[in-house]
Amino acid sequence: MEISEANLRMFIIDVLRHGGGAHFDGLLARLNNDGCIGWIDVAKREFTATDVIHQVKLMIVAGDVVVESMWDGRGVLNTHEALTSEWNADLLLSNTEAALADWNTWDSPNLD
């Protein structure tokens, strides 16, 4: 099934709500979870790192996602740093208030 950028954006916002954010590998694992937290049952295929990186970068530029460096004291990264940093376990991706406001009005796809 082809997933629109708009739905992938909302899926990412949805899974980042759980636990207050995630590092990139955790985000990808949550999207591909076949339980109540994931969206693989709707997508009918695994989400790829390439697809998710592209969408998260769009979301960073749009102000939907912030990236925070957890261990080196840099704190919340500016857009350039967020887009050019290596996304590893040291970086936490989380939703902005604007993204959460959009999620609150979202009519999520049916799981049938």
Per-residue pLDDT of the chain (112 residues; tens, 9 = 90+): 578 899 999 999 999 998 788 999 999 999 999 888 899 988 889 999 999 999 999 999 999 999 999 877 788 999 999 999 888 788 999 999 999 999 999 988 865 4
H helices within the chain, ranges in order? 5-17, 24-31, 40-43, 49-62, 79-84, 97-104
Cα separation, 9 vs 17, in Å, equals 13
The predicted structure's pLDDT at residue 110: 65
For the entire predicted model, the pTM comes to 0.91
- The backbone torsions φ and ψ at residue 78, rounded to the nearest 5 degrees and listed phi first, read -75, 170
DSSP state of 66: E
Cα separation, 101 vs 61, in Å, equals 17
The predicted structure's pLDDT at residue 111: 53
The predicted structure's pLDDT at residue 72: 77
